[in-house]
Structures are given as structure tokens and as C-alpha cells.
Amino acid sequence: MPNICYGLAGNIVHKTLSAYLKEIAMNRRKGFTLIELLIVVLILAALAAIAIPRIATSSTTAKKHACATNVDIMNSQIEMYYANTGAYPTDYTAFFTNAAYFPEGRPECPFGVADNPYAVVSDRVVDHVH
């Protein structure tokens, strides 16, 4: 193919016609095609389908661990009461609101179970079902 001379700001550039046409075609392409956008949307949807269930599962697991921690805290406070007084509490409802042992108030179930869902059996707080 013959060479073509182009004058740009006083400079002379020698290019073949096919190279010039390729350059023009590359300069005109300024956006994404519909297929490219569709592929990106499908990839994002696949990632969301994987991530959202894992986030929901980890939230439930964290709440179960927080509930088990509440049980451990209440049992340790019952043992502390026994160490201080030599007897276990007789009224656990009043004990769980005692600011000396629970300065931040009675531990609550993270699942929102109302009216102290924690049962006391043989001076121990037992886990409950969620």
C-alpha cells in the first residue's frame, strides 16, 4: 500500500492507509457495547448470589455465639454471687437486674426473645432454642 503523508501541527507522519483507518476506528470507539454491559451485570449477579447467603448465615451464627456468651456471663455472675455470699440467689429475676453483678442491665437474647428467655435449672442458666 502506498504511504500517505499527514501534516499535524507542522509534523509530517508517514502511515499506510490501513494503519490510518485502524487508528480512526479506534478513536471513534468511546463506549461499551450492550454485550459487554450484559456480561458485567451477569458477573455482578453471580457474585451477589454467592455473597448474600453467606452474609445472612454469618449474622445468624454471630447471634448464636452472642447468646451463648450471655449464658456464660450469667453463669459466672451466679458463681461470683455464691463466692461472695455463700449461697445461690433465691430470686433470679431480681438477681439479673442487680447492678452490682450486671452494671449494663440484664443480658438480652440477640434474637429478640422477650421476658428473659434464659431458664435457670439447678442454679445454672441453660441455653434456649432459637
pLDDT for 35 equals 92
| Range in 3-7, 79-83, 124-128 the model is least confident about | 3-7
Task: Give the residue extent of every domain in the chain.
Answer: 1-30, 31-126
Neighbouring-strand partners of residue 101:
none
Show the beta-strand stretches assigned E in the chain. 3-8, 11-16, 119-121, 124-126
- Residue 113's region, left for phi above 0, alpha for psi from -120 to 50, else beta, is beta
pLDDT for 118 equals 83
pLDDT for 8 equals 52
Name the range with the highest mean pLDDT among 18-27, 74-83, 86-95.
74-83
Look up the pTM and report it: 0.58
pLDDT for 115 equals 59
Instruction: Write down the mean pLDDT value for the chain.
Output: 82
pLDDT for 33 equals 87
pLDDT for 47 equals 93
3-state secondary structure of 19: helix
pLDDT for 29 equals 63
Q: What is the percent of the chain where pLDDT is above 90?
A: 35
| Range in 15-24, 42-51, 71-80 the model is least confident about | 15-24
Structure-block grid coordinates of residue 89: 440467689
